Amino acid sequence: MKIIVAQDYQELSRIAYGFIKDVVSANPSAVLGLATGSSPIGIYDLMAEDYAKGEVSYRNVSSVNLDEYVGLPATHNQSYRYFMQHNLFDRIDIAAQNTFVPVGTAKPQQECQRYDDLLESLPRDIQILGIGNNGHIAFNEPGTPHDSGTHIVKLDDSTRAANARFFANINEVPTHAITMGIKGIMAAKKILLVATGASKADAIAAALRGKITTDCPASVLQNHKNLIVVLDKAASAKISF
């Protein structure tokens, strides 16, 4: 495991983006595992900026996202597909047909199987991850088995509350999501975990220094052979080096 502590979010994003750029420069047909949420937005901004300068092309790159709300169509402004279009895909030259996000309006069980098949056919060179305050990765909440494939989850109250800021009120936050499982996440060749802010410090300490347990889903990342963690100072405050 490699842990890098950045001064602030800007530096964190620049360092994390460097790993993505390296992957795409080495392999123009790379497969990127992407995440939504606030943590990776700085990385996506830098991807778009470098693309605009003509420094990197995503023409032959594919992307696979972690998760989506059940029931939200791609056109809903809180769907994760919409987030990805707005924050990244519409700003770079990635081909629409090479971008994969679980389909929230598909038949849930069939979509889980389709997604697991997709993950097998598109091995990811690198997977970006954020972490929830309760240690979740993607929507794998505490208690999720480490061998889980893509599945439907009932969202934790704390997760719904954390995401309520993006909806008119908490009642509008979907109750279920479709998520890549822990097994699927761990199958990526390289994992890039980014976390920022004091609210993540406990989860980061449990994930990186605690026991490997389903109580803290992110702790399973300690078993990954190629884990890179980029934190800001506040998120790193509770880990020992």
Kindly list the catalytic residues.
67, 134, 136, 141
Interface with ligand F6R includes 47 (CB under 6 A)? no
Number of Cβ atoms within 10 Å of the Cβ of 190 = 17
- The CB-based long-range contact list for 95-101 (8 Å cut-off, 24+ gap) reads 95/59, 98/60, 98/61, 98/62, 98/63, 99/62, 99/63, 99/65, 100/62, 100/63, 100/64, 100/65, 101/65, 101/68, 101/74
Quick one: which of 37, 104, 135, 217 contacts ligand F6R (CB under 6 A)? 37
Per rule CB under 6 A, count of chain residues that contact ligand F6R: 14
Closer CB to ligand F6R, residue 52 or residue 161? 161
Shortest approach of ligand F6R to residue 183 CB, angstroms? 15
Three-state DSSP at 118 gives: helix
Closer CB to ligand F6R, residue 132 or residue 210? 132
Question: Cα–Cα distance between 85 and 92 in angstroms, integer?
Answer: 10
User: Taking a C-beta distance cutoff of 8 angstroms, is the pair 146, 214 a contact?
Assistant: yes
User: Taking a C-beta distance cutoff of 8 angstroms, is the pair 34, 4 a contact?
Assistant: no
Interface with ligand F6R includes 98 (CB under 6 A)? no
Interface with ligand F6R includes 201 (CB under 6 A)? no
Site for ligand F6R in 135-174 (CB under 6 A): 136-139
Closer CB to ligand F6R, residue 10 or residue 38? 38
| One-character DSSP codes across 197-225 | SGGGHHHHHHHHHS---TTSGGGGGGG-T
Number of Cβ atoms within 10 Å of the Cβ of 154 = 13
Using the contact rule CB under 6 A, the part of the chain among 52-60, 113-121, 130-138, 182-190 near ligand F6R is: 130-138
Site for ligand F6R in 66-95 (CB under 6 A): 66-67
Shortest approach of ligand F6R to residue 19 CB, angstroms? 17
Shortest approach of ligand F6R to residue 64 CB, angstroms? 12
Shortest approach of ligand F6R to residue 132 CB, angstroms? 4
Residues in the site for ligand F6R, rule: CB under 6 A? 35-39, 66-67, 130-132, 136-139
